[in-house]
Structure 1
């Protein structure tokens, strides 16, 4: 009887130890976020704080194709989303109302868009990894980018796993480019203006992965935050939006699953992210979903006490 009891107690002890190890390995995301916040409490963060869905998730009018990128134009004070198959750029207001559809020729698989300055934008073709820079004039409803300034990079080509995100640092003229996966890559193109190839410096940010230990299974969108020099990195497969410092350190992250941010359902396939002038966060998801989030509090940048 004593042997049975001893074996039972030993088995129970092993089970408790196993549960404890699993619990430690499977960190609660909110606790992890608080740890990240404490670790980088001296950084001003965009994602830290309470975010909430501004209004009901909006489904854009049926236009065919799938949304695959998003950017904000300071000049027009509107959003521009890119759609593939058939290729088009959609101009939207802050509530996701469609203002204009611009049909785009000369590109096969557009997967990212970024506002450069004035009327100038850039898009990326995922499959052939080419960047196109062009102007979108008021009232235009059709574009042919085949004659626009373009830059073919062709880095680690592997079909439908190429460039998925663009972000632009206007002050330093640096274009950030995200390669989706196999392998995941972040690049920065120094001296990029969208008008010339002179003085262009391409750097692969491998050291960032060592600092932040990318825990996203893919990259699907980027946004540069001018006020802090931080980079927002979107992952549709991991349902995450991650904030990295200008040196690649993990600052904060946001979950895009149901139960977070006022979401009743998870964002199905987040493909584009951008920030508005008042700090609103906009995300688009395949096939045609539009999300607007607002910050409901401010986070202290000092010790929590």
Structure 2
């Protein structure tokens, strides 16, 4: 009887939710596992989402630039911050220490700010850096912070489509910008997609740091619609067709477990998870071995 009780306890422990990590990324192994409504007012026309690794929550911004809203992974609002003076916010990324960077599409500027729950901030009060000249509604669409070098990867929507690497100094308002993917002309479709809507570096996933995946990118096209896994020089390694999920998806982020979160203008939150289980953490292996040893001990004892 004691052996049965121990076995049941071990089973319960091992089947309880546990932290897990990914050792690689293959979009072919992903599937849509959940869809949630986002707050209708504060996340209206959601255009970007970023994962905050310090709080393990998501932050969403709409393209009208009225709010940044914090939500849990089921889309429930936790807090919000009012924004003033923004016109066309299309990108948002977390940089650590409660700080975020916002993209203004047409100005092609990026702005650094501290998140203050239930507070407010105006664009004119923020440190900013120009990534390119002012343009029409075809400018910067997405941004992702790279913790390995402290820089950013950005995408420009079209005419031309572009993937940029930017080394930025907000104190001096300066940036060094280079194009990562070569193009033939102004109208080149870098990945065969109609536009570029978002980018996510994989170096924000701790378990991928130190692997070849740390330098890879996820690139989203809203108009095609398609999610791509690429190298930084533009080699496509995999893809995920989003046409059956939504045609208004503009935002993308990834958490420490490799779960992908996408947002659409509806506003909706879409969750994609790997169909192949992630690699358990060392603590999970230790618990498994200890549990198996305990069951063996109890069985031997019951046979005496």
- TM-score tier (shorter): 0.7 to 0.9
Q: What is the alpha-carbon distance in structure 1 between the residues aligned to residue 217 and residue 200 of structure 2?
A: 6
Secondary structure of the corresponding residue to residue 106 of structure 2 = coil
Aligned pair partner of 1:75 in 35, 43, 54: 54
Give the CA deviation at 1:193: 5.2
1:251 paired to 2:228: no
User: Do the aligned residues in 2 keep the contact of 1:73 with 1:79 (CA within 8 Å)?
Assistant: yes
Secondary structure of the corresponding residue to residue 124 of structure 2 = helix
Q: What is the alpha-carbon distance in structure 2 between the residues aligned to residue 294 and residue 250 of structure 1?
A: 20
Partner of 1:148: 126
Secondary structure of the corresponding residue to residue 207 of structure 1 = coil
Q: Give the 5 Å matches for 1:262-281.
A: 266-281=245-260
Deviations 1:55-110 (A, max 9, x none): 2x222232064111110011121101111325211111111111122110132111
Partner of 1:174: 151
Secondary structure of the corresponding residue to residue 172 of structure 1 = coil
User: Do the aligned residues in 1 keep the contact of 2:161 with 2:190 (CA within 8 Å)?
Assistant: no
User: Do the aligned residues in 2 keep the contact of 1:100 with 1:141 (CA within 8 Å)?
Assistant: no
- Alignment TM-score, normalising by the size of structure 2: 0.74
The change in CA–CA distance for 1:209 and 1:116 in structure 2 (over 3 A counts) is: farther
Q: What is the alpha-carbon distance in structure 2 between the residues aligned to residue 86 and residue 229 of structure 1?
A: 30
Partner of 1:85: 64
User: Do the aligned residues in 2 keep the contact of 1:87 with 1:110 (CA within 8 Å)?
Assistant: no
The change in CA–CA distance for 1:237 and 1:61 in structure 2 (over 3 A counts) is: same
| More deviation, 108-117/85-94 | 85-94
Q: What is the alpha-carbon distance in structure 2 between the residues aligned to residue 147 and residue 66 of structure 1?
A: 25
C-alpha RMSD of matched pairs (Å): 2.4
| More deviation, 86-95/120-129 | 86-95
Give the CA deviation at 1:286: 1.1
Secondary structure of the corresponding residue to residue 247 of structure 1 = coil
1:60 paired to 2:35: no
Secondary structure of the corresponding residue to residue 253 of structure 2 = strand
Q: What is the alpha-carbon distance in structure 2 between the residues aligned to residue 281 and residue 274 of structure 1?
A: 6
Give the CA deviation at 1:141: 3.0
Q: What is the alpha-carbon distance in structure 2 between the residues aligned to residue 144 and residue 76 of structure 1?
A: 24
Secondary structure of the corresponding residue to residue 63 of structure 1 = coil
User: Do the aligned residues in 1 keep the contact of 2:195 with 2:223 (CA within 8 Å)?
Assistant: yes
Structure 1's unaligned 5+ residue stretches are 1-43, 259-265, 300-305
Partner of 1:202: 177
| More deviation, 285-294/45-54 | 45-54
Give the CA deviation at 1:196: 4.0
Partner of 2:166: 189
Q: Give the 5 Å matches for 1:134-145.
A: 134-137=113-116, 139-145=117-123
Secondary structure of the corresponding residue to residue 82 of structure 2 = strand
Give the CA deviation at 1:249: 1.5
Give the CA deviation at 1:189: 0.6
Q: What is the alpha-carbon distance in structure 1 between the residues aligned to residue 127 and residue 241 of structure 2?
A: 37
Structure 2's unaligned 5+ residue stretches are 1-22, 209-213, 279-304
Secondary structure of the corresponding residue to residue 246 of structure 1 = coil
The change in CA–CA distance for 1:146 and 1:284 in structure 2 (over 3 A counts) is: same
Q: What is the alpha-carbon distance in structure 2 between the residues aligned to residue 124 and residue 235 of structure 1?
A: 17
Partner of 1:233: 219
The change in CA–CA distance for 1:246 and 1:86 in structure 2 (over 3 A counts) is: closer
Partner of 1:7: none
